[in-house]
Amino acid sequence: MDYMTLKEAAEKWGVTPRRVNYYCAGGRIPGAVKMAGVWLIPKNAEKPTDRRRKEFQHE
């Protein structure tokens, strides 16, 4: 499996590396593993939804 770094994921998703670190530490990115102190994120991983924002549903 191909992996990307925190920095690469941050650039791809338009967020900071720190935010990606929170996603990884919180178990919100399936397949992300920490190896030798570095998070490795699958290249095909989707950006988790931002729980800080409330999504409005229109009916």
Going from the C-alpha of 39 to that of each of 24, 28, 33, 59, the distances in angstroms are 7, 13, 6, 40
State how far the Cα of 23 lies from the Cα of 49, in Å rounded to an integer. 10
Mean pLDDT (whole number) for 43-47: 94
With cut-offs at 50, 70 and 90, classify the pLDDT of residue 6. very high
Domain residue limits, the chain:
3-42
With cut-offs at 50, 70 and 90, classify the pLDDT of residue 56. low
With cut-offs at 50, 70 and 90, classify the pLDDT of residue 58. low
Helix, strand, or coil here: 19? Answer: helix
State how far the Cα of 23 lies from the Cα of 33, in Å rounded to an integer. 12
Going from the C-alpha of 3 to that of each of 9, 33, 50, 54, 59, the distances in angstroms are 10, 10, 22, 30, 40
- pTM for the predicted model, two decimal places: 0.79
